[in-house]
Structure 1
C-alpha cells in the first residue's frame, strides 16, 4: 500500500510540474479576466457553458474506462498506409495573389484563406502531434504541407475556434506570430497567445454573436456546442466558437468543433445563405456525440446552415477517435447525396474557389490503393 501511494504521489507531482512549467500548456485565466467574463451569457460559476448542459462531467472511473478503451481498442484502417500527399503551393504566387476568394486545406481543420486582398489562417495547426508533447500523441497523416510554415507570406489575420491541441498549437504560434498582424479568438483563448509572446494589442477576443471588421471583411464569432481546456484543471476556462467570414461578395462559415444542435439553424437564419460551409466531420463516437457531430449530422447541418456547398473538415489529419480514417468522408458523402447537399472533397493543397468552384473539380482521392 505504501508503495502504491508513493507511486501515485510521484505521478501527481510529475504531472503538476509538467503542466506548470512546460510552455505548450499555455496561459492561465486571471481573477481579473474571470470578472470580465461574468458579463458573458456563456459564463457561469467560473466556467463557460454550452446552451445545453453538455458535455457530461465524467467521473474518475468513467474517465479511466474511456481512456483505457481508446488506447487498447484496435481500429482497422485507423490511419492511411502511406503519408497523404499534398499539392505543393508556390510561396510567391500566394504572396502576390490578387484574384477572387480562394482557400487551401492543410488537413484536419487548418486552412489558408485569401479573400478581399487578405491572407488569413483558420485554426493553423502544423504540429506533428495533437498533444502537448511529441511523445504523447500519434503522428499526423501528412509529413509535408502544401506550403511549409516558414514559407508562409505575411498573414493579415489568424482565426482560432478553441484551444484544443489539434487546433491551437504552441510550436505553430511561435513560427507565425512575427509575420501575423492580428489574432482573433473566442473569449479567453488569447491568454494562451499572450503566454507565448503575442502582444495583447495584436489579439481580439470575442463572445458569441459579437462582430468585428478586418478592413472591409466582417467577422462574426458564432456559437458551437463543444468544450475547451489544455490540462485537467482548465476545462471550460476559455470559450469555443464557430465563425462567419463575410466580404462584399462572399460568405463563409467555419464550424470549428461542434456537436449537432439548433445553433446551426439560428446562424443560417441570421447570416446565411453561405457560399461554402466548412463543417466538422471526424473524431466522433456515440459516447461523445454531444460535442462532435456524426457524419450524417454534418450533412444535415449543411442544410440547417443554409449552405450552397459544404466541405467536411476535422478528418484526414489525426487519429483521435475509434473509427477508420475514411469513415467520416464516406458516410457524410453518402448522406449528403440523400439530402441533396452539394459537397466538395479537395485534396490537401488543392485550390478551392469560394464562388465559382464546380463539383467536378474533386475526386474520391482517399480511396487510392496506396492509402488503404
Structure 2
C-alpha cells in the first residue's frame, strides 16, 4: 500500500513538472540575470515582487488544498447566468474607420477595446474560453460570443496588461494578436511571457509603479495595485501587477486591474485624478482573500478615492472564480454608490461607452437574465 501511494505521488509530481515545463501557456520564467535587472524596483525583494502592505499571506500546502476543496465543493445558488450573456455586435469596417469621441467597448470580465486619438488599444484582452492554462481545467466564461472576434479586430496600436493571471493574460489570445499589435505595455516581468510566446522584445515595454511613458499623443502611467502574480506554483510573485492611467489631452481614464482596497487609490487620485471614467474591479471576492480583491462596497469607496466622475464595475459577469452569486457584485456596488452619490455605469458587453459622457442611460440588463 505504501509503495502504491508513493508511486501515485511520484507519477503526479512528474506529470505536473512535465506539464508546467513544456506546455506553452505557462509562459516564461524569471532568470537570475533578470532578477539582477529588477533589483532597482522598490517592490522587488528576495527574488519576488511585493505589495506595499505585507499581503497576500503565503499559504502552506495544506492551506492551499483546504482552500481548493472549499472552492470546488461549495455550491452557490445563481453562481452563473442561466443563459449566455447578450453581446452587442460590432462591424470590423466601422471599428477600423472610427475617428469620433474617445470610446471604450467592454468584451466582458476585465477586457476592453479603447479607441482614442485615432488609436485602437486593447486592455487586458482575454478571449479564451476558460481562465486556466488548459481548456479542461476551468469552467466556460459567461459570454460565448464577443462584440468582435479577435481575428477580425483591425490593426492594434497598443496592448496593455495589468498582470499575468489567466483571466487577464491568455496564451491563445496573445498568439492571435501579436503580429498585428504595434506595441505591448506591461508591468515588470510580464514581458517574459510575451517573449516566450513569440513577441519580439523590441515591441515590449515594461514599467514599474509610478513610471510614465509617452506613446505618441497619449500618456500611460503604471500605477500601484495590491494583488499578486504567478502562472504556476513556483513562479508566484515573480512578475509585477499594476493598475493603469491612460491620458490624452482631453480624456483621463483609470483601470484598476485586480486589487484589494488600500491607500494607493487615494495616492493615484491625488496625483492623476480626477478621472472621466474609472474601470474598477468588482467581483471574485471573498473574505478569505479580501486583501487582494475588493468587496463591492470597497469598490465604490475606491471610486471616490481616485476622484472618478463615474465608475464602471469590471471583473464580474465573466467567469465564476469565487463563491458569490454572479449578480451580487453589481447589486452591492450600486447600493453603496447611491449612498456615496457616485455614478455607476453598467453597459452590456459590446455597448459603446463614450468616455466623457455623463448621461448614464444604461439599463439594468442583468435583471432580465
Q: TM-score, with normalisation over the residues of structure 1?
A: 0.98
What do residues 112-155 of structure 1 show as CA deviations (whole Å, max 9, x unaligned)?
00011110000000000000000000000011000001110100
Specify the alignment match of 1:188 in structure 2: 189
**Distance in structure 2 (CA, Å) of the matches to 1:85 and 1:355:** 25
**Distance in structure 2 (CA, Å) of the matches to 1:85 and 1:342:** 23
What do residues 21-73 of structure 1 show as CA deviations (whole Å, max 9, x unaligned)?
00000001111110010100000000000000000011111111100000000
1:134 correspondence with 2:135: yes
- SS of the aligned residue for 1:283 comes to coil
Deviation at 1:320, TM superposition (A): 0.2
**Distance in structure 1 (CA, Å) of the matches to 2:30 and 2:183:** 21
- SS of the aligned residue for 1:38 comes to helix
Detail structure 1 runs of 4+ shifted over 4 Å in the superposition: none
Specify the alignment match of 1:347 in structure 2: 348
What do residues 202-232 of structure 1 show as CA deviations (whole Å, max 9, x unaligned)?
0000000001111010000000000000000
| Superposition map of 1:4-83 within 5 A | 4-83=5-84
Number of residue pairs aligned between Structure 1 and Structure 2: 368
Specify the alignment match of 1:314 in structure 2: 315
| Superposition map of 1:258-337 within 5 A | 258-337=259-338
- SS of the aligned residue for 1:248 comes to coil
Which deviates more from structure 2 when the two are superposed, residues 57-66 or residues 168-177?
57-66
Deviation at 1:5, TM superposition (A): 1.1
Deviation at 1:358, TM superposition (A): 1.3
**Distance in structure 1 (CA, Å) of the matches to 2:83 and 2:358:** 29
Specify the alignment match of 2:364 in structure 1: 364
Specify the alignment match of 2:99 in structure 1: 98
Question: Which ranges in structure 2 are unaligned for 5 or more consecutive residues?
Answer: none
1:239 correspondence with 2:244: no
| Superposition map of 1:65-214 within 5 A | 65-214=66-215
What do residues 316-360 of structure 1 show as CA deviations (whole Å, max 9, x unaligned)?
10000000110001110111001111110000000000012411x
- SS of the aligned residue for 2:244 comes to strand
**Distance in structure 1 (CA, Å) of the matches to 2:137 and 2:308:** 37
**Distance in structure 1 (CA, Å) of the matches to 2:169 and 2:316:** 16
**Distance in structure 1 (CA, Å) of the matches to 2:70 and 2:280:** 27
- SS of the aligned residue for 1:94 comes to helix
**Distance in structure 2 (CA, Å) of the matches to 1:297 and 1:80:** 24
**Distance in structure 1 (CA, Å) of the matches to 2:89 and 2:320:** 24
After superposition, the CA RMSD in angstroms is 0.5
Question: Which ranges in structure 1 are unaligned for 5 or more consecutive residues?
Answer: none
Deviation at 1:284, TM superposition (A): 0.2
**Distance in structure 1 (CA, Å) of the matches to 2:29 and 2:74:** 34
